Structure 1
Amino acid sequence: MNTVEPIRDEGTVQDIADYLKAKNERDYLMWMFGVYTAFRISDILRFRVRDVKNKRSIGLREKKTGKERKFIVNKRLQKAIEQYIRDKPDYEYLFKSRQGENKPISRQQAYNIIKDAAQKFGVEHVGTHTMRKTFGYHVYQKTKDAVMLMKIYNHSDIHITLRYIGVEQDYIDETMAAFDIMY
């Protein structure tokens, strides 16, 4: 199994957003949605226009855990949503596939989109969880509030959260690189 990592460099997160926006507005919104909400891709793909239209907060029951989750829509994400859904009917899936009547893209297609964009910027170890992990990594770097992230992710243990967002490995790497027993 390959390990999926967060994107630690803020500039690269922005570069991927800019690249996707220029390439495909749907893919750009998917990236923004993932990075700003920390939802799993299985939940992101279920959204329809009516679920986000004119809303400052969005709630859903997580597919994996069955737990309710509500979040405030950040201003940057709100602007991206408004621009994207401007002429779309309420019943349409937010991340609609070009194949079929009104179906969302597949998880595999979401993965392909993310992997392609990441490769353009030399980022390895990516997957659909990269967006979710990137959110957590950067929130943690700004707040150092692992307990809040644990609640957002619905994790049962703080160590799971720290490992999930890559902070635990960063700390291990720094400790190992600085260790010197010889005088």
Structure 2
Amino acid sequence: MKTVEAIKDEEKLLCMKTYLQSRSARDYCLLLLGMNTGIRGNDLLHVHVEDVMNESGHILHYLQSSLYTDPPVFLNDDVRQAIKQCIQEGSLQSTDYLFKSKKTTEPITRQQAYRIINEAAKQADIEGSIGTHTLRKTFGYHAYAKGIAISLIQKRLHHATPAETRQYIGVDRHTSQSIKLDVNL
């Protein structure tokens, strides 16, 4: 198995988003949910509509998951909008998988998720190995770059040590980051 890296270039991420958004609400939602939450690939594929939408049809602010409670998985506005479009475009019911296959009632396979992410990366001229873990690593890298404490990222990624998390996201203890802690009251 090849080792994949985080996508550090935000312009390339934007290119991937634009490409997938023009093709499929489901595939775009997969990319956004993966890189904005740090959820494991297999867990991501097994999210049900009822995990992200309440009975009255409103998209929740937090993923309803027993696996991700500390810290809970926040769904930002862009992710929530992508989820809403995915549900509408796919005519999904509350018991359906969010990333439902077009051929069956099951979720898309890991191989299909890999193909989706890989094709978007090719369109963005991203070189190197890309896979489903790329989304998770991208989440961790950008969370760290934006000033989120390594201990919180470690908890989200379910790692044993901060050193494991740093290695996973591709930064070392001595990597200089210009972190801006701005509460903006």
Give the aligned CA root-mean-square deviation in angstroms.
2.0
Could you tell me which residue of structure 1 aligns to residue 85 of structure 2? 83
Mapped contact 2:16–2:124 kept (Cα < 8 A): yes
1:122 offset after TM fit, Å?
A: 2.1
Distance 1:45-1:116 versus aligned 2 partners, 3 A rule: same
Which of the two has higher C-alpha Rg? 1
What residue number does 1:179 align with? none
CA distance in 1 between counterparts of 2:159 and 2:50 reads 29
Q: 1:23 to 1:122 in 2, by over 3 A?
A: same
Using the aligned pairs only, state the percent identity: 37
| Distance (Å, rounded) in 1 between the aligned partners of 2:63 and 2:29 | 15
Give the TM-score of the pair, scaled to structure 1. 0.84
SS at match of 2:46: coil
The answer as to whether partners of 2:153 and 2:165 remain within 8 angstroms in 1 is yes
Between the aligned partners of 2:46 and 2:64, the Cα distance in structure 1 is 12
- Kept in 1: contact 2:50–2:94 (CA 8 A): yes
Three-state SS of the structure 2 residue aligned to 1:39 is coil
| Counterpart code for 2:118 | K
Q: Name the CA shift for 1:97/1:137 in 2 (closer, same or farther; >3 Å).
A: same
- 5+ long unaligned stretches in structure 1: 172-183
Q: What is the Cα deviation at residue 118 of structure 1? A: 0.7
Q: 1:82 to 1:119 in 2, by over 3 A?
A: same
Runs of 4 or more above 6 Å deviation: none
Q: Provide TM-score, normalisation by structure 2.
A: 0.83
Partner in structure 1 of residue 49 of structure 2: 49
User: What does residue 6 of structure 1 align with?
Assistant: 6
Q: Which has the higher strand share?
A: 1
Query: Residues of 1 paired with 2:75 and 2:100: CA distance?
Result: 21
Q: Is the 8 A contact 2:25 2:85 kept in 1?
A: no
The structure that is helix-richer by fraction is 1
Find the counterpart in structure 2 of residue 175 from structure 1: none
| Distance (Å, rounded) in 1 between the aligned partners of 2:145 and 2:13 | 14
The worse-fitting range, judged by mean Cα deviation, of 37-46 and 87-96 is 87-96
- Distance in 1 separating the partners of 2:32 and 2:169: 18
